[in-house]
Amino acid sequence: MIRREKPIAAKCPRAQASIGGYMLVVRSIRGLPTTAATPLLLTVLSACVHIQHLQIKIRNDSHLQLWPVSVNANRKDHVREIERDIRWGRLPDRPDILYQYLLDCEADAMTLENSVAKDLFRQLVDLLVEVICDACVPYHWRCLCLYNIYRPMACLRERAGTSTERLELSRKTYEINVLAGYFLIR
């Protein structure tokens, strides 16, 4: 049996969020202020819409505005800096940088169109191949890059739709094998 209770809307402050054309209203829980309902609002909103960066504003009338922030210059600079760290092996004792960068690329590719995601993975493979072939980079960092090049290659293989793309991947795999055999022999 479903029991209906009277709405308590008049008694409770509420938090509203709008993104684009979507409006989401969360009433505060058991009299908590709107700011206490904010984490709940963000949880519900992130479950509905995949948004990585939000700018949050709370107005005096308990209206919570969430503005999607596009990939700004700071984020691009940060990504470029990580790519430079990977490319030049600046932090060879921090493999977590490479692992996190690979995870971020895979997550970003999930939100992109197939052709753009393929370009992203090709650039990532090229970056790792450059590292593998650079004798000035520490040996163990180059080996780490070689051991992890399978991740973007596997993503490219999943997205390969035509026989031409599969042939291109086979050639790239052969190229990686030859270069790794030449540059990583001690």
- pLDDT, tens only, 17-43: 444 444 444 444 444 455 555 555 555
Question: At 25, is the secondary structure helix, strand, or coil?
Answer: strand
The backbone torsions φ and ψ at residue 43, rounded to the nearest 5 degrees and listed phi first, read: -65, -45
Q: What percent helix, strand, coil does the chain show, rounded to 5?
A: 60, 10, 30
Looking at residue 59, its pLDDT comes to 53
Domain ranges of the chain: 14-68, 73-183
Mean pLDDT, residues 66-75: 53
Rounded to an integer, what distance in angstroms lies between the CA atom of residue 87 and that of residue 90?
Answer: 8
Q: Is 62 left (phi over 0), alpha (psi -120 to 50) or beta?
A: left
Looking at residue 28, its pLDDT comes to 43
- pLDDT, tens only, 127-140: 999 999 999 999 99
What count of other Cβ atoms lies within 10 Å of the Cβ of residue 28?
A: 19
